Amino acid sequence: MNCSPPEMVCETAIVAEERQSLGAAGKEGRRLPPAAAPAAAPAAAAAQMWPPGPAASPPGASAGGGERPSGAAGLSIRPFHPAEGEAARRIFYEGILERIPNTAFRGLKDQPLAQLLYAAMAVICFVVTKSLLVTCCLPVFLMGVRYYFSRKVILSYLECALNTDMSDIEQYYMKSPGSCFWVAVLNGNVVGIVAARGNEEDNTVELRRMSVDSKYRGKGIAKALGRKVLEFAVLNNYSSVVLGTTAVKVAAHKLYESLGFKHVGLVEHYSLPGMTHSILEQIFFQLRYHRYCLHLREE
């Protein structure tokens, strides 16, 4: 499959009901020579870019260079190592798979035209068949078709992602100037991931690939991962952090807002890599693409 480079899509499986306050972010910047290491002043600015929780610890990195949210004892957030590639891809893959039922079923509530079309199909079905039973079975059939196309498109998207940046995280993020990839490690296991991809042209950094293992959600891990990207942006003098998401769950959007992001745009009928744009696909699969931005300083 011919896949174009990943666009500004933060495909993520995250839960925003954070149960514990988080410690302030640790210090870690772009991979720079020692002479270009960030000074203490940017670190202090980073600590003030977002409000700490009620019991936030003082700014500074924990032992081992990781950030430890108080809601997940023993958890640290540190730069990705190549040996963790399979674990990172597994978390990403499983998180995106959750989008299949969410897009097929939950996403319908934001698609009034699709609802109207399906209602019209039910009326036509009743007029043609004169059967209440057949008409009542139609919604089940329509939801089944929506699930089929949701699965088809999202699996195609996954194939593209796993053949582009997620196939070589080290090369795409760790060796690329202005970019980084972090893992959240709890008791020796990788339980979450997030990436930052810098854009020197407009001096922005993109938050991407945020995902938390479903067994470890609700511990503040997603918010700590997000703060790591914000800290990275501040320490490296980026003016803004941006992200894009097709997430349907309200919890994901609440998480971005809790980190300070503002909703700045919405694209209806967004196209993912791997879509065929057939008539049936357009009828039974629709995505809304949300853009978020957090301005760190004026240019």
Kindly list the structural domains of the chain, giving each domain's residue range(s) and its CATH number in brackets, ordered by start. Answer: 79-295 (3.40.630.30)
Q: What is the mean pLDDT of residues 165-176?
A: 95
pLDDT, residue 69, reads 53
Q: What is the token pair recorded at 277?
A: 């744009």
Confidence of residue 269 (pLDDT cuts 50, 70, 90): confident
H-type helices in 37-178, by residue range?
40-48, 85-97, 99-104, 112-129, 132-162, 169
**Among residues 69, 65, 19, which one has the least CA distance to residue 226?**
69
Q: What is the pLDDT of residue 52?
A: 42
What's the mean pLDDT in 56-69? 39
CB 265 within 8 A of CB 244: no
Q: What is the mean pLDDT of residues 2-31?
A: 42
Q: Give the pLDDT score at 63.
A: 31
Residue 291: the pLDDT is 97
Q: What is the mean pLDDT of the chain?
A: 81
> Above 60 in pLDDT, residue 210?
yes
pTM given for the model = 0.76
Q: Provide the residue type at 129 as one letter.
A: T
pLDDT at 265 over 70: yes
pLDDT at 8 over 50: no
> Please, are residues 143 and 101 in contact by the beta-carbon 8 Å criterion?
no
